[in-house]
Amino acid sequence: MKALTITINPCVDKSTSVKGIVPEKKLRCNIPKYEPGGGGINVSRALKRLKVEALTLFISGGRTGKLLETLLQNENLQTMPFPVENETRENFIVVDSLNQQQFRFGFPGLSCTESEQKALLKTLESITDFPKISVISGSLPDGLNAQFIKEIIQICKHKNSKVIIDTSGESLEVAVQEGVFLIKPNIGELATLTGNNELNLQTMEAAAKELINKGAAEIVVVSLGASGATLFYKNGKIHQPAPLVKVKSTVGAGDSMVAGMVYALINNSSMKDLLRMGIACGSATTMAEGTALFDTENVFKILNELD
């Protein structure tokens, strides 16, 4: 096993479509589709499509947690569910079939108890043959102290695993204070991390290099949406424009980008190819309907067409 993903706030995505969304009217939806969700879980699902096995550690509680476990088993992922008392959350996604507008409703996750947190850390420490790459991705449940992320990072680093963080807010701030291998902020998050009110394409390089120089991360990949992404590392930077594709949904695109970069790291790719693979996977996922992830054939088609 070469990769580990950790999801503290997983979910089940329930998606459907309806012909015309109007207020105060009973809307007849199509049969719903249930899919596993949450940052690290989506990274594992995307890696599976790239023929990379990842150990998928996530918290699981109640009826929704059992459904999540079943959905992941159906995708033949190697899972490590950690049982908690509170119910795993759901998300609800609706597409208006008249105009293809997508409406996404995210429900809050419930926190773990202090004893559950300690037990989860012990479970993480107990993993034998610890993977060389650890991905901590997604939000934290409401009420969970962001310092918990620091403790997870410390265990992974102690196990000589390269830590990739894809989160936001206080969790991201705690992660860079501890120091990790790779982070993937957007330009606004990068500004916050470096104490700037705002950044532009010209000033973000100094901000990214500031984080690298003080040991917050070895690699900083700044996501620029439709403009692609720029990767910064100690010896330079690389920019990759996004390809022109027909965007159907952005759900899971960031997680797919992380999976692409993990795939490149496992295959000892160059920095340029790491970024290109991330962009290809993220872009391919935007071509998929609803909460679905990429078609692998589209990933390599985009990859071959990138400049």
* Catalytic positions: 255
Cα separation, 162 vs 131, whole angstroms: 9
Tokens representing residue 271 in the block:
């920095």
Write down the H helix ranges in the chain: 39-49, 62-74, 114-125, 147-158, 169-178, 187-193, 204-213, 253-266, 271-286, 296-305
- Other beta carbons less than 10 A from residue 57's beta carbon: 25
- Edge to edge, what strands does the sheet with 162-166 contain? 78-83, 54-60, 3-7, 133-137, 162-166, 180-183, 217-223, 229-233, 236-240
- Other beta carbons less than 10 A from residue 273's beta carbon: 18
Which strand (E) or helix (H) includes residue 137? Answer: strand 133-137
Q: What single-letter amino acid sits at 179?
A: G
Q: What is the DSSP code (8-state) at residue 227?
A: G
Strands 133-137 and 162-166: parallel
Nearest CA among 121, 146, 108 for reference residue 57:
121
Residue 42 near residue 256, CB atoms below 8 Å: yes
Cα separation, 71 vs 190, whole angstroms: 35
Phi-psi bin for 98: left (phi > 0), alpha (psi -120 to 50), beta?
alpha
